[in-house]
Structure 1
Amino acid sequence: MSAFAHLGLGGAALRLEYQWVGVADSPHPTLVFLHEGLGSIALWKDFPEQLCQAAGMRGLVFSREGYGRSTPRPHKERWPVGFMHRQAWEVVPALLQELGIERPWLFGHSDGASIALLHAARFAVSGVIVAAPHIMVEDISVSSIAAAREAYLEGGLRARLARYHEDIDSAFWGWNDVWLDPAFRAWDIRDQLPAIAAPLLAIQGEDDEYGTLEQIYGIARLAPQTQLLVLPQCGHSPHRDQAGRLIDAATRFMTGTNRSH
């Protein structure tokens, strides 16, 4: 059952839907899930529950503003190039404080993975797992996002996504417009990665249609504690394409680190 957190940030009132999953009385740090650019609580389906049960952890799943049942993006408003920085450095800290979460584990996918990395560069976390992260913009990313625009306008993508968002245009155009903005080609968070001190697991599929393996190799060069997992026959969503292997790897990584706390 979802609940709502009410945050006041910079004069704006945000209502964020959230849901607790996993082991309620776990002694380990809370695992916070950060969704992809078109994601929401509903689009994760049962993956967070499965991972938290396997790891013996309590989890928090939430929909960012503009997504799911959270405050929608005003239709005339465009996300700025630094929208992920704002999420990582303003919104996520405010939500964690509101819910009494300290030193969480972070599990981020795609845009949510980038937000997780940015948050961990400035705030204390127990560890970070990123799946299909973006640390810079590649041609393959822009091409696939342009193709998604056509699928939304002419294909069945809009209908498929509508079940996961109360305001589907808020979710889609907020993501699509900023990624296809020529100014976004300069977006790059590699300068933040050396500040991450926490344990880090970076995962990507060999067939990721939104990024090359340089995304995770780049993380490992800049944050040397990074462990890498490359998944063959896997696209941009490892938690859907290879959920079992991802859960096993993430559980081993977090369990080993948790036991050392």
Structure 2
Amino acid sequence: MDAAAAGAEFWVETGHDRLHARCWPVPDAGPARPPIVLLHDSLGCVALWRNFPGRLAAATGRRVIAYDRLGFGRSDPHPGRLGPGFVLEEAKGGLAAVLARFGIGEFVAFGHSIGAGMAIAAASARSGTCRGVISESAQALVEERTLAGIRAAQRQFAQPGQMARLERYHGAKAAWVLDAWTGTWLSPEWAGWNLDAELRAASCPILAIHGEGDEYGSARHPERIAALAGGPVTVRLLPRCGHVPHREQEADVLQAVAAFLA
């Protein structure tokens, strides 16, 4: 990956910890538009977005910013376990610090998987400045398909050598990252979790992208988003697509996002 594709590197001080971030500028300078902030999935980080942020900037004519949440990627370690309110808290914590570091007022939140839940939470918590949400493979409630997929992944990571896949991106924090995903979702305290309140309070337009073959969630999730959101929702179901549309069907995702933001 060349320097332009990787984006420019930044560090975000939260007052207690440092978060790692990268920024991809608009290739051809034009009218200033609210930038897109990327929120990664449960095992994700900036590096795992790969070349997508640069291509997203080119397709939309908007600056794109991605950051590693606390405990993930190159950001500082998390001091403990994720609490039951961590999805909403990210909008008021790490995301708020990133917006302040880059001097961002209005923005568009683009989240993948649980990051999509955080994008919706950001729209509810920052209704005056979040101008739109791209929800990709969102989990809006606890569904048995999601839990079955997580149990299967848990068994896979228990096999010899599998943790090295996470260590490549999260280093010594890899075991914490895996437990933050599996331990949270499979805990009894998480069984009744949903995004209902955040959806009702989200008044900005939402684009809900979901793969029909998503192994971590059925079409119930975008359907729930469309039914409960306080603003207009466009649902885009992608055939022959799993949990990572921006990698599996990148061209379709870029086209959908560019049309939505136009």
Normalised TM-score (structure 1): 0.91
Equivalent position to 1:177, from 173, 179, 183: 183
Corresponding residue of 1:30: 35
CA contact (8 A) 2:21 2:68 kept: yes
Deviation at 1:160, TM superposition (A): 2.0
Letter in 2 for 1:185: A
1-side partners of 2:61 and 2:195: how far apart?
Answer: 32
Find the partner of 2:237 among 230, 250, 255.
230
Match of 2:81 among 78, 81, 85: 78
Query: 1:59 offset after TM fit, Å?
Result: 0.7
Point out where structure 1 has 5 or more consecutive residues left out of the alignment. Answer: 256-261
**Code of the aligned partner of 1:209:** E
Task: Confirm or deny: 8 A CA contact 1:15 1:71 kept in the other structure.
Answer: yes
Corresponding letter in the other structure for 1:199:
P
Q: Which residue of 2 aligns with 1:115?
A: 118
Given residue 156 of structure 2, which amino acid in structure 1 is its aligned partner? A
Give, in angstroms, the shift of residue 155 of structure 1: 5.3
Rounded to whole Å, the distance in 1 between the matches of 2:162 and 2:242 is 17
Partner of 1:47: 52
Aligned sequence identity (%) = 36
Secondary structure, in 3 states, of the residue corresponding to 2:154?
Answer: helix
Query: What's the secondary structure of 2:20's corresponding residue?
Result: strand
Deviation at 1:156, TM superposition (A): 5.0
Q: Which residue of 2 aligns with 1:240?
A: 247
CA distance in 1, matches of 2:74, 2:250: 25
Secondary structure of 2:93 counterpart? helix
Aligned to 1:191: 197
Q: What is the aligned length?
A: 249
Across the aligned residues of Structure 1 and Structure 2, the Cα RMSD in angstroms comes to: 1.4
Residue 147 in structure 1 maps to residue 147 in structure 2: no
Write the deviation string for residues 22-67 of structure 1: whole angstroms up to 9, x where unpaired: 3175511111000001000000001111011111111101010110
Tell me which residue corresponds to 1:168.
174
Letter of the structure 1 residue corresponding to residue 101 of structure 2: E
CA distance in 2 between partners of 1:157 and 1:100 (Å): 40
| Residue of structure 1 equivalent to 2:5 | none
CA distance in 2, matches of 1:71, 1:180: 25
1:62 aligns with 2:61: no
Secondary structure in structure 1 of the residue aligned to 2:158: helix
TM-score normalised by length of structure 2: 0.91
Query: Hey, what's the Cα distance between the residues in 2 that align with 1:116 and 1:248?
Result: 20
Mapped to 1, the partners of 2:86 and 2:203 lie a distance apart of: 23
Cα distance in structure 2, aligned partners of 1:44 and 1:86: 22
Q: Are the aligned partners of 1:78 and 1:177 in contact in 2 as well (CA < 8 Å)?
A: no
> Do the aligned residues in 1 keep the contact of 2:109 with 2:122 (CA within 8 Å)?
no
Conservation of the 8 A alpha-carbon contact between 1:73 and 1:174: no
Unaligned runs of 5+ in 2: 1-7
Q: CA deviation at 1:135?
A: 1.1
Residue 228 (structure 1) shift? 0.5
